[in-house]
Structure 1
Amino acid sequence: MRMIATASLLLGMAGALSGCDREVPAPAIAPTPKPSPELVDELARDPERLKELRRLCVEERDQVEEELCAASALAARKVFMGESKPRFMPIPMFPRNPPP
C-alpha cells in the first residue's frame, strides 16, 4: 500500500516537472492609449453618445479607434462612480517621520 502511494507521488511529480523546461512566450499586449480628460468629460456629459459609443466598442471593435473606446470606458466609470471627494483620509501604518 505504501509502495503504491510512493509510486503515484513520484509519477505525479514527474508529470508536473515534465513541462518545466519549456519556454512559454508572453502574449504581446498593445499599450492602451490615454484619452484626453476633455474627451472623457464630454462623453460623461452626453449619455446618448456614450451609450452608442460603448455599444460600438463592444459589437464593432475593429471599426472604432482604441482611444475612443478607452475614453468611453473612463466616462462610463466616471458617470457610475461620480466625482466625489474621499470620505476619509487613510492613515499610513508606518509614518515616514515618527514622533519623537
Structure 2
Amino acid sequence: MPLTALQERFIDTYTSDPRSATAAYVRAGGSDGPGAKVTACRYLQHPAIEEGIRRQQERFRQEQWAVRDELFVELKGIIHSPDCSASEKLRATELLCKLFGLL
C-alpha cells in the first residue's frame, strides 16, 4: 500500500530534523492534538516509513560525501597552488583538517 502525502511529508520533515517525531508530524501537516504523539510513534514503526527514512538518510549521507569530496579537491588545489599566499595555504590546510576532524 502506498504512503499517503502526509506520511511522505513526515519522512521529509523527520529526516531533516529528527529530534522530535511529534514535531515532525505536526510540521508535515498532521493534527496538533493529543493524538499527535501516538500517531508520530506509529509512523516511526510503520515499515514503509522506516524504509523511507532510511533511504532519505542514505541520500543525505551521499550528498554530504559528494560535498566533502568537492571541498577536499578545492582545498587541496589551494594548498598546492603556486599562486596562493602562505596565509591562504595555511587557512586551506586548517579547513581541510577541520573537514576531516583532525582539529
Above 0.5 in TM-score? no
| Higher RCO structure (Cα 8 Å, ≥6 apart) | 1
Larger radius of gyration: 1
Return the structure number with greater helix share.
Answer: 2
Tell me the TM-score normalized by structure 2. Answer: 0.27
